Structure 1
Amino acid sequence: MSTPLRYGMQLPVQSQSTIYAEPWEAAAGPDDLLDIARTADRAGFDYLASCDHVAIPRRLAPAMSTVWYDPVATLAFLAGVTRRVRLLSHVAVVGLRHPLLTAKQYATLDHLSGGRLILGVGAGHVREEFEALGVDFERRGAVLDESVDALRAALGPDEFPEHHGKLYDFEGLGQRPRPAQPRIPLWVGGSSPAAVRRAALKGDGWLPQGDPRDRMPGRIDRLKRLRAKAGIEEPLVVGAITEPLYVGGPPAWDVGRRTLTGPPDALAESLRAYRAMGVDQIQVRFRSRGRTELTDQMAAFGAEVAPHL
């Protein structure tokens, strides 16, 4: 019997890009996040995810909005009201910060949460953020590559981590508390050729950026070939972002033509196709008109759809 699909979700409210945010999120806040996190914990969600943007330039604000909560603060806030669900940065633009700073923040989060961190990392795409923080936007891929290596050292078991690279050089500097996990899972985000290669060669997992289903088998095949060629035998956690979901139906409102709707067994059958193509975990998103409808959808998914995955 194959391993069931794990399922997680990116938190609403904490990032409000017009691509995916629901209208009700504009007036939502901490209490909504707390209720959603508690629901995810009870409903068997594998993780909750939070995004990372420092500042949005005016030219992008109409599409992206300027609502982007800090992921470390947000996930730490929710760690205190949950017990089981894992905490994912999806994704931390780690090249914007020195690796020792990133390690201090996320090691503390892992320590305080009892070992529930998954560190998702990505190269970033907003030029003005890099320029404002004094980081070379054009070299962000190379910066991320070395940042991953430096973070592997800084988040490892040694109190005095050591890394000697072209961009970062440190040793003899102690950091405690150490992470609760002996090895922090590091998932690489992005669907560009460079991001897929980085995930294959440096990651413990891959977080695609909304690839449609028909592109996933090719991406997964490339991941496997790259890892095999490099002689990497450890398994890679392959993710996918599903279409928007609405459990039950037919819905009494327009949930959009791309939304998967229907009874739980029909939704599960559709989602099992991801497992068949080699996906290990799916990131789900539910259409909703308010917090209560969202948490009802989450609970229904956990109770009625997930057992069939």
Structure 2
Amino acid sequence: MQLPIQSQSTLYAEPWEPTAGAVELAEVARAADRAGFGYVATCDHVAIPRGMAGPMGTVWYDPVATLSFLAGITEHVRLLSHVAIIGLRHPLITAKQYATLDHLCGGRLILGVGAGHVREEFEALGVDFERRGAVLDETLDALRVALGPQEYPDFEGETFSFRDLGQLPRPAQVRVPVWVGGSSPAALRRAAVRGDGWLPQGDPRERLPERIARIRELREAAGVTRPIEIGAITEALYVGEPGWDTGRRALTGKAEALAESLREYAALGVDQIQVRFRSRDVAELTDQIAAFGAEVAPLLNT
């Protein structure tokens, strides 16, 4: 699941989140860890222009700092950046940060990446917005080397090059999984050729088969044979009968009914689902997480 509190766009934040902070964030992460969730995720924006602050808000916790905090208070759940805008930073900086995080958390990192969409953010940091796709591709190639096993990674590219520069510690994982976010044609190509996983950005169910087929077509054309993990973001959920208005697009009801609906994602070719819950406070959210883990999750792969 994508964690609440750490990003508070008006498109998805619940009304209780603006008054919450580290204590509540820790409660939610621990609840997901206890419930057997596969990962918890955080977003990434450096700065939001005033003109976009209405819908986006300006609350965007730093993903490396936040995931490092969560690493120290959880034991099993994996830690996903969904998504890190790695084109805003030199790949050696990104490698240093995420290699250290993976080392400290014992190999629980999943590096989710995306191209970014806020022009002013790129311009303020001196990064060419128009070339962000090409820069992201090269950054991913550089990170494959910089997050690999070598103490002295060696890379030569159009924008970045480095050699004879040592970085320790190395990641705990032999290969840090890289999941590519986005549903544009460029993002699909990037996920197919360079990714270990794909993170669609809220595509409805009916669009997923076409997207997944396109990824598999691109992988075959490129001769890519390694596995890829296909993801999806579900509709908002509520386990049980809420007794309050959760919105017309929310899925509510008993565990069996929710599981039956969510199993349709597997039939579409999806390997993992990112769930989200409607809630009125942190206690209700952690109750929902526990109920999902105990009652719904065991039914998903049956």
TM range (shorter): over 0.9
Work out which of the residue numbers 88, 103, 106 in structure 2 matches 1:111: 103
Q: Distance in 1 between matches of 2:89 and 2:223?
A: 31
1:286 aligns with 2:286: no
Measure how far apart 1:19 and its partner are.
0.4
Q: Paired residue for 2:256?
A: 265
Letter aligned with residue 36 of structure 1: V
1:172 aligns with 2:164: yes
Q: Distance in 2 between matches of 1:231 and 1:55?
A: 39
Q: Distance in 2 between matches of 1:190 and 1:232?
A: 20
Work out which of the residue numbers 74, 98, 101 in structure 1 matches 2:93: 101
Q: Paired residue for 1:274?
A: 265
Letter aligned with residue 290 of structure 1: D
Greater relative contact order, per chain length (Cα 8 Å cut-off, separation 6+): 1
Q: Paired residue for 1:90?
A: 82
Work out which of the residue numbers 44, 47, 61 in structure 2 matches 1:55: 47
| TM-score using structure 2 length | 0.99
Measure how far apart 1:231 and its partner are.
1.3
Measure how far apart 1:234 and its partner are.
1.1
1:238 is paired with a residue whose SS is strand
Letter aligned with residue 229 of structure 2: V
Unaligned runs of 5+ in 1: 1-8
Measure how far apart 1:109 and its partner are.
0.3
Letter aligned with residue 177 of structure 1: P
Q: Paired residue for 1:148?
A: 140
1:245 is paired with a residue whose SS is strand
Q: Paired residue for 1:77?
A: 69
Measure how far apart 1:229 and its partner are.
1.3
Q: Paired residue for 1:229?
A: 221
Q: Distance in 2 between matches of 1:168 and 1:202?
A: 18
Measure how far apart 1:232 and its partner are.
1.1
What do you get for the CA RMSD once the two structures are aligned? 0.4
2:60 is paired with a residue whose SS is coil
Q: Distance in 2 between matches of 1:89 and 1:24?
A: 23
Work out which of the residue numbers 244, 255, 262 in structure 2 matches 1:253: 244
1:121 aligns with 2:109: no
Q: Distance in 2 between matches of 1:114 and 1:213?
A: 34
How many residue pairs were aligned? 300
Identity within the alignment, %: 74
Work out which of the residue numbers 9, 32, 44 in structure 2 matches 1:40: 32
Q: Paired residue for 1:211?
A: 203
1:68 is paired with a residue whose SS is coil
Write the mapping of 1:173-188 to structure 2, written as runs, cut at 5 A.
Answer: 173-188=165-180
Q: Distance in 2 between matches of 1:177 and 1:269?
A: 44
Work out which of the residue numbers 273, 281, 288 in structure 2 matches 1:297: 288
Q: Distance in 2 between matches of 1:260 and 1:193?
A: 29
Q: Distance in 2 between matches of 1:265 and 1:32?
A: 29
1:130 is paired with a residue whose SS is helix
1:242 is paired with a residue whose SS is strand
Q: Distance in 1 between matches of 2:187 and 2:224?
A: 17
Measure how far apart 1:129 and its partner are.
0.4
1:173 is paired with a residue whose SS is coil
Q: Paired residue for 2:184?
A: 192
Q: Distance in 1 between matches of 2:70 and 2:211?
A: 33
Measure how far apart 1:181 and its partner are.
0.3
| TM-score using structure 1 length | 0.97
Unaligned runs of 5+ in 2: none
Q: Distance in 2 between matches of 1:58 and 1:13?
A: 20
Q: Runs of at least 4 residues of structure 1 off by over 4 A?
A: none
Letter aligned with residue 69 of structure 2: F
Measure how far apart 1:235 and its partner are.
1.1
Q: Distance in 1 between matches of 2:21 and 2:171?
A: 29
1:157 aligns with 2:157: no
Work out which of the residue numbers 244, 248, 260 in structure 1 matches 2:236: 244
Measure how far apart 1:230 and its partner are.
1.2
Q: Distance in 2 between matches of 1:160 and 1:284?
A: 39
Q: Paired residue for 2:58?
A: 66
Letter aligned with residue 211 of structure 2: R
